[in-house]
Amino acid sequence: MSFALPSLDRRRFLLASTGFAAGLAISGESSAQGYGQAFKVDNDEGRPVANMRLPGEIVGEIPALRGLTYVGSAEAETTLYEFFDYNCPYCRKAAADMVSLSESDPSLRIGLINNPILAVQSAQAAKVALAIQRKLGSAAAWTLYRTLLAKPGKIDGPGALQAAAKLGVPAAEIESIADSEEVRLALKAQMRMAADLGLTATPSYVLGNTGLLGHPGPKALARMVAATRRCDRIAC
Structural domain boundaries of the chain? 31-231
For domain 31-231, give the CATH number: 3.40.30.10
Q: What pLDDT sits at residue 5?
A: 33
183-188 long-range contacts, CB within 8 A, separation 24+ = 183/67, 183/127, 183/130, 183/131, 183/134, 184/127, 185/66, 186/65, 186/66, 186/67, 186/130, 186/134, 187/67, 187/114, 187/116, 187/123, 187/126, 187/127, 187/130
Say if residue 17's pLDDT is above 50.
no
Q: Is 60 exceeded by the pLDDT of residue 141? A: yes
Q: What is the spatial distance between Cα 68 and Cα 33, in angstroms, rounded to a whole number? A: 30
Of residues 31 and 57, the one with the higher pLDDT is 57
Cβ-contact 39, 234 below 8 angstroms: yes
pLDDT value at residue 36: 82
Query: In one letter, which amino acid is 38?
Result: A
pLDDT tens column, 176-234: 999 999 999 999 999 999 999 999 899 999 999 999 999 999 999 999 999 999 999 99
Length of the chain: 236
CA distance readout (Å), 59 to 35, 45, 133, 147: 19, 28, 22, 28
Strand partners for 111: 70, 81
Instruction: Note the pLDDT tens digit of each residue in 152-177.
Output: 899 999 999 999 999 999 999 999 99
First to last CA, the chain: 42
As a whole number, the mean pLDDT across the chain is 88
User: Is residue 123 a contact partner of residue 187, using CB atoms and an 8 Å limit?
Assistant: yes
pLDDT at 32 over 90: no
* CA-based nearest residue to 145, from 80, 85, 185: 85
Q: Yes or no: say if 11 and 58 are a contact pair by the CB < 8 Å rule.
A: yes
Residue 10, pLDDT > 50, answer no
Query: Of 20-29, 32-41, 48-57, 194-203, which gets the smallest average pLDDT?
Result: 20-29
Pairing of strands 204-207, 78-84: antiparallel
pLDDT at residue 97 tops 90: yes
